Structure 1
Amino acid sequence: MEQKDKTSVKELFQIKNFLYLVIGAFLSSPGYYAYLLGSEWLMLHISENRAYLGMLFIAASIPRLLFMIFGGIIADRMNKRTILFISDLTSGLLVSFLVALIWMDSVEVWHLITLAVFFGISDAFSHPAMNSLVAEILPDSHLQQGNSVLQVMQSISPIIGPVAGGTLIVTLGFKGVFTLSAISLMLAAWTVYRIKLQKEETPSDLPKNVLEDFKEGLKYGLQNKLLRTVMFVSLLLNFVVVGPLTMGIPLLVKDVFKENALGLTTLEASLGIGLLTGAVLLTVLKSIERPGLLAIGGLIAQSVLLAVIGLMPSHYFAAGILFIFGLLMQGVNIPIMTILQAKTEKKMLGRIMSLLMTASQGMIPVSYMVTSYLIAVGLSITSILLFAGSIMVIFSISIFLMKEIRQMSY
């Protein structure tokens, strides 16, 4: 059985289009994470107003949310390879512009916020294209392993990106980290461009305009009980978790643990290593007998970890918490994504992936706003994390009572 699993993984990489997609993800993600780490630390460096850090995240999340549905419609109508190529290329050019501003010593808060807006728009188009392209390249029988392998490559990136980024900030400054980011994104664009997809005839029943496209995708999604349940769960979880955790990591490093950029690197890299470990385990397992129960168990454990991370005595203990958190995250994300890809009509994949991501992204700006407000009125990030984790524990246990989630299968 073990030999069969290894052969299947090897066969995945014999599919050239999938190989290029994986390499592109491996190159794109570290560039993106290096940019994120650099922009977070640069914002904390140029301004003492911690509210600006929240504005940085909000600036990316709102356009990502607004354009996500349109991104899914475009993914169903256009060559998905082309969408990914344009996304990586424009991201590389945006970071190159930031490098130029740093060389001229002209970076201001509004520059970082504006760049975050453009990155949010780019994400809105690239994510539906990426998730639907996997299902277009691979047969259903390879989807879990394909998603897992792709997650392995993408999970290496949150390790390489922050480690390289934090090291370059300390040794070469912000010029070094953003130059690395721009080069990585440009190389990803070149790799993705090598993907060759067969031209397909446009279906005769394809809606004639964007509005009809949207209505058809929404109707399909609302009639799918599994998708409705997953969207509802994603919306609530992202409201509770994303703002406190995303803003909490740099704030814990800076204000609680009193560490420098390498401390931030340690925490973010630990989360990345956990994501990598979880993806590798799911690749080896090949098939999960009860993916619904795995997802629920992961959510409950993540809830407890979120509550206690701010109580750790040092950033090394917090790094251990984030490692386990990342490992559990893959046990939730990969099975759910695989189920949706397998059970959705191929012609609807772009729109369904965008609906799912719109639901999951829908409360993120609100989460950032609420977290920023709580920080502004004087609540500590430790208290915010403890409160958010406690709410998530109650919510995760309530999810266990949902039959649709417990019985999810491929």
Structure 2
Amino acid sequence: MTVTGTTAQAPERPAHRDGNVLRWLGAYTASMIGDSVYYMALAWAAARSGSPTQTGLVLAVGSIPRAVLMLGGGVLADRIGPRRVVIGSDAARCLVVLGLAGALLLTSPALWMLIAVALVFGVVDALFLPAVGALPPRITEAGELARVQGMRGLATRTANVVGAPLGGLAVALGGPALAFAAAGVLFAVSLPLLLSLRIRPLPDQESAERSGTAWHDLADGLRHIRRHPLLGPLMLVVAVTELGYAGPLNLGLILLAKERAWGASGMGWIIAAFGIGAGASALLLAVRGRVPRAGLVMCLMILTGAAAVGALAYLPSVALAVAAALCIGLFAGLGGSLCGALIQTVTEPAYLGRVTSVSTLFTHAIAPLSYPVTGAAVALWGTGPVFVASAAVCAAGAVSALTSTRLRRAELPG
């Protein structure tokens, strides 16, 4: 496998002052904002061209290839390098949305056209997500990975805050065509930054080149996770906690606000508080760079966040719910970032794409399956018992980690 780009040298400065990492961060931020603008434009175009059911179909159809192909995306990232996959993914998204923007200047959005674009984006996401998660260990030292996780969290929060309003403004000024064009420009902005990255070569490139079929590579990656003393417990933490958090923090909050008659403004304050807490945890990790006894702290943060989730449905006022959401964002965000940093630190470089694809499969494909279960459970038992049950699931993930002596004592490189 030939590595493109210049070989990365050991950074003399921390990640937040390293130009190579900052170029990656700029590309990632532009891509994430472009993603948010794209989804806003897609939802608006679908709503204008179809019924509510058809709009839901357009928004949901992209999740199918994302779930089916995610593990294959990890294999591809390990075979040809995550940088190439990320560049190809952003280039494909840029061309697709600019093409759609041009088509919408000539005709009104047709349902089949939007479904086709959503399917393409689902395929591209299945390749992009594992690759972008596998990039940090290739551009910086192991001791900076926790800081990079914090920086990535800040970029994600920035995209959430900036992307939707930017997409809404573009739709208001020029309709979906302008919004899709803006998304395409943002994807284009990421390309020169990605092309300028210096990539560290793998220490075992030769063995990676001699790997067999894609199925063999995938099975080999899964065996690597299963046999590793830390990766198996870490993946269990990711799977269980994501299943616990996803339902109440997405659909559950909407149902809770409706049940308590807190209105859209109350719901907005709660979501904003969660975002502020998650952003604060990301900023803390980005500035500090390392947390002593990372494995133990990760477990305690997840447990504390789980307790806040269980309490949220029983708080009598919006103000107290906002405080609980702030705690959830802070503690769960820090626990999740530490988990991600540990996964990247302990994974052998040749397996980074496949390992990242498994964790991403849990967070982006499997966890959302809890939404209909959450809705049905709330209809039967109300929000309180469901939030408590979800909190218990999250806590079970942390407890499972605490039972692993190696994970409990795991440290990030200094």
TM-score scaled to structure 1, two decimals?
Answer: 0.79
Q: Could you say which residue in structure 2 is the equivalent of 1:183? A: 185
Structure 2 Cα separation of the partners of residues 182 and 230 of structure 1: 36
Contact (CA 8 Å) 2:41, 2:180: kept in 1 or not? yes
Contact (CA 8 Å) 2:154, 2:279: kept in 1 or not? yes
Report the CA distance between 1:79 and its aligned residue: 3.1
Q: Could you say which residue in structure 1 is the equivalent of 2:340? A: 337
Report the CA distance between 1:358 and its aligned residue: 2.7
Contact (CA 8 Å) 1:85, 1:190: kept in 2 or not? no
RMSD, matched Cα: 4.0
Q: Could you say which residue in structure 1 is the equivalent of 2:389? A: 391
Structure 1 Cα separation of the partners of residues 252 and 94 of structure 2: 27
Q: Could you say which residue in structure 1 is the equivalent of 2:29? A: 26
1:96-175 correspondence runs (5 A) = 96-100=98-102, 102-103=104-105, 106-108=108-110, 111-169=113-171, 173-175=175-177
Secondary structure at the residue paired with 2:84?
Answer: helix
Structure 1 Cα separation of the partners of residues 21 and 351 of structure 2: 21
TM-score scaled to structure 2, two decimals?
Answer: 0.78
Report the CA distance between 1:259 and its aligned residue: 5.3
Structure 1 Cα separation of the partners of residues 176 and 263 of structure 2: 20
Against the structure 1 CA distance between its residues 176 and 248, is the aligned structure 2 distance closer, same or farther, given a 3 Å change threshold? farther
Q: Give aligned pairs, total.
A: 395
Secondary structure at the residue paired with 1:203?
Answer: helix
Contact (CA 8 Å) 1:267, 1:315: kept in 2 or not? yes
Quick one: which of 367, 371, 377 aligns to 2:370? 367
1:16-95 correspondence runs (5 A) = 16-40=19-43, 43=46, 49=52, 53=56, 55=57, 58-95=60-97
Structure 2 Cα separation of the partners of residues 168 and 315 of structure 1: 32
Structure 2 Cα separation of the partners of residues 232 and 114 of structure 1: 35
Report the CA distance between 1:167 and its aligned residue: 4.4
Secondary structure at the residue paired with 2:73?
Answer: helix
Comparing 307-316 with 88-97, which one deviates more in the overlay? 307-316
Report the CA distance between 1:125 and its aligned residue: 1.4
Against the structure 1 CA distance between its residues 133 and 389, is the aligned structure 2 distance closer, same or farther, given a 3 Å change threshold? same
Against the structure 1 CA distance between its residues 41 and 321, is the aligned structure 2 distance closer, same or farther, given a 3 Å change threshold? farther
Comparing 128-137 with 201-210, which one deviates more in the overlay? 201-210
Q: What amino acid sits opposite 2:214 in the alignment?
A: V
Contact (CA 8 Å) 1:239, 1:364: kept in 2 or not? yes
Contact (CA 8 Å) 1:231, 1:360: kept in 2 or not? no
Q: What amino acid sits opposite 1:20 in the alignment?
A: R
Report the CA distance between 1:397 and its aligned residue: 3.0
Against the structure 1 CA distance between its residues 136 and 292, is the aligned structure 2 distance closer, same or farther, given a 3 Å change threshold? same
Q: What amino acid sits opposite 2:161 in the alignment?
A: I
Q: Could you say which residue in structure 2 is the equivalent of 1:209? A: 213
Against the structure 1 CA distance between its residues 388 and 62, is the aligned structure 2 distance closer, same or farther, given a 3 Å change threshold? farther
Structure 1 Cα separation of the partners of residues 388 and 92 of structure 2: 40
Q: Could you say which residue in structure 1 is the equivalent of 2:279? A: 276
Structure 1: state its 5+ residue gaps. 1-7
Structure 2 Cα separation of the partners of residues 38 and 387 of structure 1: 37
Q: Could you say which residue in structure 1 is the equivalent of 2:243? A: 239
Secondary structure at the residue paired with 1:238?
Answer: helix
Structure 1 Cα separation of the partners of residues 304 and 212 of structure 2: 46
Q: Deviations over 1:57-92 (max 9, x none)?
A: 642333222212211111112132221111112222
Against the structure 1 CA distance between its residues 351 and 276, is the aligned structure 2 distance closer, same or farther, given a 3 Å change threshold? same
Q: What amino acid sits opposite 2:92 in the alignment?
A: T
Q: What amino acid sits opposite 1:161 in the alignment?
A: G
Report the CA distance between 1:348 and its aligned residue: 1.7
Contact (CA 8 Å) 1:163, 1:269: kept in 2 or not? no
Report the CA distance between 1:41 and its aligned residue: 5.5
Structure 2 Cα separation of the partners of residues 178 and 344 of structure 1: 37
Report the CA distance between 1:221 and its aligned residue: 0.9
Against the structure 1 CA distance between its residues 325 and 168, is the aligned structure 2 distance closer, same or farther, given a 3 Å change threshold? farther
Structure 1 Cα separation of the partners of residues 390 and 53 of structure 2: 25
Report the CA distance between 1:290 and its aligned residue: 3.0
Q: What amino acid sits opposite 1:80 in the alignment?
A: P
Secondary structure at the residue paired with 2:411?
Answer: coil
Give the fraction of aligned pairs with identical amino acids, expressed as a percent: 22
Q: What amino acid sits opposite 2:240 in the alignment?
A: L
Structure 2: state its 5+ residue gaps. 1-10
Structure 2 Cα separation of the partners of residues 241 and 138 of structure 1: 30
Contact (CA 8 Å) 1:84, 1:129: kept in 2 or not? yes
Report the CA distance between 1:252 and its aligned residue: 8.4
Q: Could you say which residue in structure 1 is the equivalent of 2:8? A: none
Contact (CA 8 Å) 1:238, 1:360: kept in 2 or not? yes
Quick one: which of 206, 212, 226 aligns to 2:230? 226
Contact (CA 8 Å) 2:36, 2:163: kept in 1 or not? yes
Report the CA distance between 1:331 and its aligned residue: 0.5
Report the CA distance between 1:246 and its aligned residue: 4.0
Quick one: which of 349, 353, 375 aligns to 1:350? 353
Structure 1 Cα separation of the partners of residues 53 and 252 of structure 2: 11
Report the CA distance between 1:266 and its aligned residue: 7.4
